[in-house]
Amino acid sequence: MSTQFSWLNEPAIHSGNDSALKLMTDDRTDFWQRTFYGFERDNGHAYLTPVSGDFSANVTIKGKYEELYDQAGLLLRIDERNWIKAGIEFTDGLMHFSVVVTNGISDWSVLPLHNALTTDEVNVRVTRHGDAVRVQYSINDGPWQMARLAPFSAADATAGAMACSPQRNGFEVIFTDLKIGPAISRNLHEAADSSASE
């Protein structure tokens, strides 16, 4: 599987690579298609590599979350209208683990992280098994938690790190250990899944 990353909507300010990538978002960037808000945006920043078949993508993120909808995580993308983004989104003064699945139009699910601090590191993992995508997260290298299991196309795509700031510019994010590799076990229950700590 290729690990040659390239930019979709390259930010004006960035440095590093898949081992350690730092960026600041441009003004009013986002990935969203229509639902509820009515607008379409495809100008978020993403550092992507081609993927095919089953795989797992992992990254550790740390952001300076300050404004509504500041967000960072992973993006799995076929095209402008078919993608999944998953990671931290700052809303209502709190970090949430957020997943948006877009098949023509976007949905949005959030899990409030009441005990998380904005200084915490969050690990994000997206795994594709055929036509299903599994999204997991852990905080400060804690246990993996499943956030979403969603149907999604098994078509060739791209995957990698993503950051947006729909309300401003200058959201600063650090990504470390961005990796794309073989899919973890299909076992959904971590206690019985020895690959959960990979």
Tens-of-pLDDT digits for all 198 residues of the chain?
547 999 999 999 999 999 999 999 999 999 999 988 888 999 999 999 999 999 999 999 999 999 999 999 999 999 999 999 999 999 999 999 999 999 999 999 999 999 888 889 999 999 999 999 999 999 999 999 999 999 999 999 999 999 999 999 999 999 999 999 999 999 887 544 444 333
Instruction: Give the DSSP per-residue string, 61-112.
Output: EEE---STT-EEEEEEEEETTEEEEEEEEEETTEEEEEEEEEESEE--EEEE
- At residue 193, the pLDDT reads 44
Annotate 128-151 with b (16+ C-beta within 10 A) or e (fewer).
bbeeebbbbbbbeeeebeebbebe
What are residue 158's phi and psi, to 5 degrees? -130, 155
Place of tokens 């961005």: 178
Between vectors from CA 28 to CA 34 and to CA 111, what angle results, nearest 5°? 65
What is the number of helices (H) and of strands (E) in the chain? Answer: 0, 17
CB-CB neighbours of 71 under 10 Å: 29
CATH, domain range 20-180 = 2.60.120.200
Q: How far apart are CA 2 and CA 13, in angstroms?
A: 25
- Does an H or E element contain 72, and which? strand 71-79
Sign of CA dihedral 32, 72, 5, 146: negative
Read off the DSSP letter of residue 195: G
For the chain, give every domain's residue range.
20-180
